[in-house]
Chains A and B, each alone.
Chain A
């Protein structure tokens, strides 16, 4: 049952083979068994969760169930959920109980889905290994010595370990796709503006986008049907017709033009990962796709551009955490300035401070033109690269991450090496394009353990339905996405 698709779970619930309370309880018991070791969740609230499950059962009994009614979903702790501890992985918000619901949370509530808990993440979504979380790192369920990726590491580990039916994530530079790749799941970062950012704690507002992290493309499509939609409370939310993301899942791929950017297969890519990706491309050829070699010449600039723009926005977005109205306030201080300094020094971790400093620097008088403005100009060039590329192909493919999951602690002292984890994902955020990671096989790690590899699929603006179709067809002829790690119970670890 824990390995069932969302559609199967929905069918079981609606034909009353199982109740939402039973389903929820089975996930909760897995969580109590495995989460102490994996640390995928920051906050759990059985009473709230089971109350929602009960309400879902009532909805099902009344005959007004929707596809996700009664299904337990894990929510990244970046979304405000009324009455829930909402920390964003930071000491700064460790004591913050959200008094309102993010739009994403409201949307799941509205269809009667069950909130299973809040998942661990890099502090303020800044990180690629989940190691910057104030609440501790998260184990990769495929190898507990390794990181799950980040920043949506808790969601990725929860889905991979089957500690939820599906989860939400957010992606500012790769935070859905890289952990999906490292944990062997299917994750989708939609086009910027498709999912409302209201109530989603901001990291870099012009790049942040929420999306699903699930076992399959079909599950992602069902999640997208809930998450996508215009929200008047988010000025960057796009006013578009509601669409059914499952509508094209079964279309054949014959004649699909797949663009392979040569820059994605150059230096820096782990050879084994490269082989897995080539294997996936070969599979697509069998499905009738055509391969087109393309170029995204400014790919190399995407990381420097990102590490100007994202910190600039973050430095301003994180100014509200000043200890005045909520969140961490230093216990002792001499005056206002001292309260600000101490509260922020104590409340933020090293990576967050690093980015606030970078962002403050690049926006400062005298540096703004050379950094922020220049980065904005290059950002447009990067978007232009994609516009040109999509004249030659329907989707772009490549690796989602340059390597498989790395060992915990391996990159914590080398921020630039950590930043390079997002080399293939960041440019789509800068361009506002949708991107996916799809399980494409395994590669043996240094100690011989098989680690998942993710294939990245980048689509044109609003082409999520086609991307889901491309992923789903692949998942009809492969079974990588159905593999699940063997787990040791927490007790075994001691």
Chain B
């Protein structure tokens, strides 16, 4: 019997607002403990929350980006539980009426093994605003636990999907796409190490063809795509084995241990809290008008889909190229910057997706860390276009630039890569080549086209690769047909 895994994600994206969701305290990461905890963050007696409008704009932005319904009226609720890092004894969240309703994200699942790449629509159930908790700090003082409330009240958007994913690969593709999207629209910095983007993954298995969902277990707080992939694969196998051995799955919250590559239950459903949600009487319902939406829409960056279409039209790129360049905003920005700095579009696209991406991948760098800036790349491509250097020579220049040398022309000069375009010099080389390879000339004249290429090769070799290949071609053709 074949099994099918069913996956849904809940993602907490920390919103890039200057201040907390319900107070004026700063949200900057990494400050000394409790230096960004104002009277509201500490939950002193008598303090009250005031909603940060910037956080609402971020939520609307996200809703628009995934074509979701944005609730004209949504409600903040209190989720009640005791924990030392939760200063009020309740978290302000949204429960019955979230600000963002149903939407969708189209993901590209990459090819794997014999399976080709494919597209899939993942439905978004909802996205709601809530505040983050503080952090427990263990061991700063011997035998004691401390509380750092700097993070308490940081705005989060919790994005919940339908159980639409059917493999770890799909879940990771969705998470990556979402990760890119929230950064693209500028609502989240996407820093997974600092916890700005955290995923909880609900995993269940069922017999293929079954309509009924299996009992799910929730893997909490995955902060890397690699761990997500491993955790889902491990968990899926564990659930299948458990069921095949005649066992049952208990609903549970589980943690993934990256060191062992295993998942383990943190608490079962029986131990789950009754959160006693009720509307927060300190906050009025959140009203979002058409005008609010229009104002956010007016400030929305161009979304990936629209940008892809524009790249195809404006730069005459193929659908494949346009799609690849718009997988990330930073990559697209880099490409556009190179074109704006004078690079030819198709060539820029090839280089960005080719040499630049290959180097970045090899060194595990992001595009904004590229040692070769977009304008430097444009300089290089201009030297190809104006025939100063050949494509092959350009690769050497690129390597030098990557290694830290800045000026394209200085590198070309220093390495002696300048292409020979002087007709006299090229003619001299060709004459030598023709004289030395009379056999090939005969073959060509006898109708062997291949011989022509060999002659070009010889000429290029004789010029130590510096001759302008187009000129060599032209001149050789003229000589041979003369």
What residues make up the interface of A, taking CB atoms closer than 8 Å to B?
79-80, 86, 88, 93, 96, 98-100, 102, 197-202, 204-206, 232-236, 312-313, 315-316, 318-322, 324-326, 336, 340, 360, 363-365, 368, 372
Q: Is the CB of A102 within 8 A of B46?
A: yes
Q: Is the CB of B278 within 8 A of A316?
A: yes
Report A-chain residues with C-beta under 8 Å of the C-beta of B84.
Answer: 322, 324, 336
Q: In the complex, how many angstroms separate the beta carbon of B210 from the nearest chain A beta carbon?
A: 29
The CA of A256 and the CA of B447, in the complex, are separated in Å by: 117
Report B-chain residues with C-beta under 8 Å of the C-beta of A326.
Answer: 42, 44
The CA of A368 and the CA of B274, in the complex, are separated in Å by: 11
Q: Is the CB of B48 within 8 A of A234?
A: yes
| B23-51 Cβ-contact flags toward A at 8 Å (1 or 0) | 00000000000000001001111111111
Q: Add 20 more A-B contacts to A93-B45, A235-B283 (CB < 8 A).
A: A80-B44, A88-B45, A98-B45, A98-B46, A99-B39, A102-B46, A199-B47, A202-B45, A204-B281, A233-B50, A235-B49, A235-B284, A313-B281, A319-B82, A320-B43, A320-B87, A325-B42, A326-B42, A363-B277, A365-B276
16 contacts between A and B (CB under 8 A): A79-B46, A88-B45, A197-B48, A199-B46, A202-B46, A202-B282, A232-B50, A235-B284, A236-B281, A236-B282, A313-B281, A319-B80, A322-B82, A325-B87, A340-B82, A368-B278
Chain A minimum-CB-distance residue to B23? A233
What residues make up the interface of B, taking CB atoms closer than 8 Å to A?
39, 42-51, 78, 80, 82, 84, 87-90, 147, 274, 276-278, 281-284
Chain B minimum-CB-distance residue to A102? B46
Report B-chain residues with C-beta under 8 Å of the C-beta of A336.
Answer: 84
Chain B minimum-CB-distance residue to A86? B45
Q: In the complex, how many angstroms separate the beta carbon of A85 from the nearest chain B beta carbon?
A: 12
Partner among B39, B89, B277, B284 whose Cβ is within 8 Å of the Cβ of A236 = B284
Q: Is the CB of A198 within 8 A of B44?
A: no
The CA of A236 and the CA of B284, in the complex, are separated in Å by: 7
Q: Is the CB of B45 within 8 A of A201?
A: yes
The CA of A372 and the CA of B274, in the complex, are separated in Å by: 15
Report A-chain residues with C-beta under 8 Å of the C-beta of B274.
Answer: 364-365
Partner among B48, B87, B277 whose Cβ is within 8 Å of the Cβ of A233 = B48
- Chain B residues touching A, majority SS: loop
The CA of A77 and the CA of B51, in the complex, are separated in Å by: 28
With A205-B281, A363-B278 given, is the CB distance from A316 to B46 under 8 Å?
no
Chain A minimum-CB-distance residue to B45? A201
The CA of A372 and the CA of B96, in the complex, are separated in Å by: 15
Q: Is the CB of B276 within 8 A of A80?
A: no
Partner among B46, B78, B284 whose Cβ is within 8 Å of the Cβ of A80 = B46
Q: In the complex, how many angstroms separate the beta carbon of A173 from the nearest chain B beta carbon?
A: 15
Report B-chain residues with C-beta under 8 Å of the C-beta of A232.
Answer: 50
Report A-chain residues with C-beta under 8 Å of the C-beta of B283.
Answer: 235
Q: In the complex, how many angstroms separate the beta carbon of A118 from the nearest chain B beta carbon?
A: 13
The CA of A88 and the CA of B89, in the complex, are separated in Å by: 19
Report A-chain residues with C-beta under 8 Å of the C-beta of B276.
Answer: 315-316, 360, 363-365, 368
Q: In the complex, how many angstroms separate the beta carbon of B227 from the nearest chain A beta carbon?
A: 28
The CA of A205 and the CA of B50, in the complex, are separated in Å by: 14
Q: Is the CB of A100 within 8 A of B48?
A: no
Report B-chain residues with C-beta under 8 Å of the C-beta of A202.
Answer: 45-46, 282
Q: In the complex, how many angstroms separate the beta carbon of B406 from the nearest chain A beta carbon?
A: 52
Partner among A234, A312, A320, A324 whose Cβ is within 8 Å of the Cβ of B45 = A320
The CA of A340 and the CA of B84, in the complex, are separated in Å by: 10
Q: Identify the interface centre among B87, B147, B281: most chain A CB within 10 Å of its CB.
A: B281
Q: In the complex, how many angstroms separate the beta carbon of A286 from the nearest chain B beta carbon?
A: 43
Report A-chain residues with C-beta under 8 Å of the C-beta of B90.
Answer: 316, 319
Closest 5 CB pairs of A and B: A319-B89, A206-B281, A363-B276, A205-B281, A199-B46
The CA of A197 and the CA of B90, in the complex, are separated in Å by: 19
The CA of A5 and the CA of B62, in the complex, are separated in Å by: 59
Chain B minimum-CB-distance residue to A88? B45
The CA of A365 and the CA of B87, in the complex, are separated in Å by: 23
Q: Is the CB of A320 within 8 A of B88?
A: yes
Q: Is the CB of A201 within 8 A of B46?
A: yes
The CA of A327 and the CA of B277, in the complex, are separated in Å by: 26
Report A-chain residues with C-beta under 8 Å of the C-beta of B49.
Answer: 235
Q: Is the CB of B48 within 8 A of A235?
A: yes
Report B-chain residues with C-beta under 8 Å of the C-beta of A316.
Answer: 78, 80, 89-90, 276, 278
Q: In the complex, how many angstroms separate the beta carbon of B138 from the nearest chain A beta carbon?
A: 12
The CA of A15 and the CA of B238, in the complex, are separated in Å by: 87
Q: Is the CB of A312 within 8 A of B278?
A: yes
Q: Identify the interface centre among A198, A235, A340: most chain B CB within 10 Å of its CB.
A: A235
Q: In the complex, how many angstroms separate the beta carbon of A192 from the nearest chain B beta carbon?
A: 10
Q: In the complex, how many angstroms separate the beta carbon of A97 from the nearest chain B beta carbon?
A: 11
The CA of A204 and the CA of B88, in the complex, are separated in Å by: 15
Q: Is the CB of A80 within 8 A of B278?
A: no
Q: In the complex, how many angstroms separate the beta carbon of B93 from the nearest chain A beta carbon?
A: 13
Q: Is the CB of B282 within 8 A of A205?
A: yes
Q: Identify the interface centre among B47, B90, B277: most chain A CB within 10 Å of its CB.
A: B47
Q: In the complex, how many angstroms separate the beta carbon of B105 from the nearest chain A beta carbon?
A: 32
The CA of A99 and the CA of B51, in the complex, are separated in Å by: 23
Partner among A80, A93, A325, A360 whose Cβ is within 8 Å of the Cβ of B43 = A325
Report A-chain residues with C-beta under 8 Å of the C-beta of B80.
Answer: 315-316, 319, 363
Report A-chain residues with C-beta under 8 Å of the C-beta of B82.
Answer: 319, 322, 340
Q: Is the CB of A324 within 8 A of B46?
A: no
Q: Is the CB of B48 within 8 A of A198?
A: yes
Q: In the complex, how many angstroms separate the beta carbon of B136 from the nearest chain A beta carbon?
A: 10
Report B-chain residues with C-beta under 8 Å of the C-beta of A324.
Answer: 84, 87, 147
Chain A minimum-CB-distance residue to B78? A316
Chain B minimum-CB-distance residue to A199? B46
Report B-chain residues with C-beta under 8 Å of the C-beta of A93.
Answer: 45
Chain A minimum-CB-distance residue to B283? A235
Report B-chain residues with C-beta under 8 Å of the C-beta of A365.
Answer: 274, 276
The CA of A199 and the CA of B40, in the complex, are separated in Å by: 10
Report A-chain residues with C-beta under 8 Å of the C-beta of B277.
Answer: 363
Q: Is the CB of A319 within 8 A of B45?
A: no
Report B-chain residues with C-beta under 8 Å of the C-beta of A321.
Answer: 45
Q: In the complex, how many angstroms separate the beta carbon of A107 from the nearest chain B beta carbon?
A: 14
The CA of A233 and the CA of B49, in the complex, are separated in Å by: 7
Q: Identify the interface centre among B42, B47, B48, B78: most chain A CB within 10 Å of its CB.
A: B48
Q: Is the CB of B281 within 8 A of A96?
A: no
Report B-chain residues with C-beta under 8 Å of the C-beta of A206.
Answer: 281
Chain A minimum-CB-distance residue to B42? A325
The CA of A340 and the CA of B81, in the complex, are separated in Å by: 12
Q: In the complex, how many angstroms separate the beta carbon of B241 from the nearest chain A beta carbon?
A: 33
Q: In the complex, how many angstroms separate the beta carbon of A369 from the nearest chain B beta carbon?
A: 11
The CA of A461 and the CA of B261, in the complex, are separated in Å by: 63
The CA of A233 and the CA of B90, in the complex, are separated in Å by: 19
Partner among A96, A235, A340 whose Cβ is within 8 Å of the Cβ of B50 = A235
The CA of A109 and the CA of B43, in the complex, are separated in Å by: 24
Report A-chain residues with C-beta under 8 Å of the C-beta of B147.
Answer: 324-325
Q: In the complex, how many angstroms separate the beta carbon of A441 from the nearest chain B beta carbon?
A: 37
Q: Is the CB of B45 within 8 A of A100?
A: no
Chain A minimum-CB-distance residue to B273? A365
The CA of A399 and the CA of B322, in the complex, are separated in Å by: 77
Report A-chain residues with C-beta under 8 Å of the C-beta of B284.
Answer: 235-236
Q: In the complex, how many angstroms separate the beta carbon of A30 from the nearest chain B beta carbon?
A: 29
The CA of A248 and the CA of B301, in the complex, are separated in Å by: 55
Q: Is the CB of A100 within 8 A of B50?
A: no
Q: In the complex, how many angstroms separate the beta carbon of B139 from the nearest chain A beta carbon?
A: 16
Q: Is the CB of A96 within 8 A of B48?
A: no
Q: Is the CB of A200 within 8 A of B46?
A: yes
Report A-chain residues with C-beta under 8 Å of the C-beta of B47.
Answer: 198-199
Q: In the complex, how many angstroms separate the beta carbon of B42 from the nearest chain A beta carbon?
A: 6
Q: Is the CB of A80 within 8 A of B42?
A: no
Chain B minimum-CB-distance residue to A207? B281
Q: Identify the interface centre among A234, A312, A319: most chain B CB within 10 Å of its CB.
A: A319
The CA of A149 and the CA of B277, in the complex, are separated in Å by: 34
The CA of A197 and the CA of B42, in the complex, are separated in Å by: 18
Q: In the complex, how many angstroms separate the beta carbon of A180 from the nearest chain B beta carbon?
A: 23
Q: In the complex, how many angstroms separate the beta carbon of A27 from the nearest chain B beta carbon?
A: 26
Chain B minimum-CB-distance residue to A101? B46
The CA of A285 and the CA of B308, in the complex, are separated in Å by: 80
